[in-house]
Amino acid sequence: MNLEEKVREHINKIKEKDGKIKSFIEVWEEDSIKRAKELELKKEKGKLYGKIVAIKDNMLFEGKEITAGSKILKGHISSYTATAVKKMIDEDAIIIGRTNMDEFAMGSSNENSAYFPTRNPINTDYVPGGSSGGSAAAVAADFADISLGSDTGGSIRQPASFCGIYGLKPTYGTVSRYGLIAFASSLDQIGPFAKTIDDLKSAYDTIKGFDPNDSTTYKEMKEHSDKKLSDMSLGIIEFDEKGCDEAVIENFNKAIGELSKKTKKTVKIKMPHLKYAISSYYIVASSEASSNLARFDGIRYGRYEEGKDLESSYEKTRGKGFGTEVKRRIILGTYALSAGYYDEYYLKAQKIRALVKKDFDEAFKTADILIIPTTPTTAFKIGEKSENPLSMYLNDIFTVPVNLAGVCALSAPYGKDSKGLPCGVQIIADRFSEKYLFEAAKGLL
């Protein structure tokens, strides 16, 4: 099968099956076929040659619409291409389309999209996770070989777990955020989804690296040297099992057993501030979101709704443009940053963040890799938690500490529940230790 035939096969599969799953907002059929034809004429092939790639709808692709899953950006055309996307193109990947997401990456189920909810390819009655649910579903349904998502508090790892694939949240600052629509700038990180560890690693190796357009990227990355799993020490993070599905705990314990046999030693890790991480995260993330989303006023960015004066124009623009969850987080963040409450909320949340980071620093003194479930439950039904934001937020309880600390983590599929829904195991490593994650994930195969 040549490359053009491969692309056509993927497009036909999307046309046939994505009507029910709804992982894509837009498929670039003609562009993808044209690109395949051009690549076939190349003599020297890049390391992602012929890989079909889907990108989340918050990453710019020059000349294409980008909306971050929101009504307020409907019709906005990208003026340049995001660095991570460009790096994949430079290595001969074919960008097939943009995937659905929770509006401005705020959500854990993909039900907050202004377009439609995405469904889990394993069972379409269930959510695929969020906010990168469209990217995860596209890979799980074999519509793409690799997809890119963004992870602010678990938005790659949680949908990877729900859809039974691999998802990587790299070390903060290893992948450029230039061309990514910001949610919470100190937490956001672009990362890949794939069905195989090799594809995941190839994607990460392609997109990582310094970018002069993003001052948070590292000029020098002191990557840890290669280490075999048999030379690694495994840290098992102690956590409260209350609220976790039986199947999640059962498969997690099996994964511990599997890795324990292959690692040098196993230690139990106490992280005393882990229980405060979710509270800290939602203050920090919402505060940064309220600042970042201030630009979407219909004048600088966003669709303008005219009112009788400037204030009423702002109200109409944002009232119609933003969805419920986005409004909720803007209000929460603005309140936390307001005079009289800044010290009580935002400053305190940042102090907790520092303690969470310290917990990880201490843990990595005794363990090379840490392990904890990716999520407390398997995928839940569409509509099950949409009326209860707190229940939805708690789904991120095991993923948000990683973003607060800026370390790297990978969700690996491991086992299923009684309904056939996948379980995920989260492997965590210190900054610049992504190689450890890939090596450990192979130990679960």
Give the distance, in angstroms, between the CA of residue 87 and the centroid of all CA atoms in the same chain.
18
pLDDT tens, N- to C-terminus, the chain (445 residues): 799 999 999 999 999 999 999 999 999 999 999 999 999 999 999 999 999 999 999 999 999 999 999 999 999 999 999 999 999 999 999 999 999 999 999 999 999 999 999 999 999 999 999 999 999 999 999 999 999 999 999 999 999 999 999 999 999 999 999 999 999 999 999 999 999 999 999 999 999 999 999 999 999 887 777 899 999 999 999 999 998 999 999 999 999 999 999 999 999 999 999 999 999 999 999 999 999 999 998 888 888 788 888 888 888 889 898 999 999 999 999 999 998 889 899 999 999 999 999 999 999 999 999 999 999 999 999 999 888 888 888 889 999 999 999 999 999 999 999 999 999 999 999 999 999 999 999 999 9
Packed helices 277-292 and 324-337: angle between N→C axes, nearest 10 degrees: 100
Catalytic, 155? Answer yes
Looking at domain 3-207, its CATH architecture is Alpha-Beta Complex (3.90)
**Which one from 108, 109, 131, 176 is the annotated catalytic residue?**
131
**Which one from 155, 202, 280, 290 is the annotated catalytic residue?**
155
Bridge partners of 422?
416
Q: The whole model's pTM is what?
A: 0.96
Catalytic, 70? Answer no
Domain spans in the chain, listed from the N-terminal domain onward: 3-207
Catalytic, 56? Answer yes
| 233-237/265-269 β-pairing | parallel
**Which one from 22, 23, 32, 56 is the annotated catalytic residue?**
56
Tell me which residue of 395, 403, 363, 393 sits closest to 238, measured CA to CA: 363
Contact between residue 254 and residue 415 where contact means Cβ atoms under 8 Å apart: yes
Rounded to 5 degrees, φ, ψ at 150 are -125, 145
User: Which position has the token pair 């009684």?
Assistant: 418
Say how many Å lie between the first and final Cα of the chain, rounded: 29
CA distance 30 to 16: 17
| Secondary structure (3-state) at 282 | helix
Of the CA atoms within 13 Å of residue 8, those in its CB half-sphere come to 7
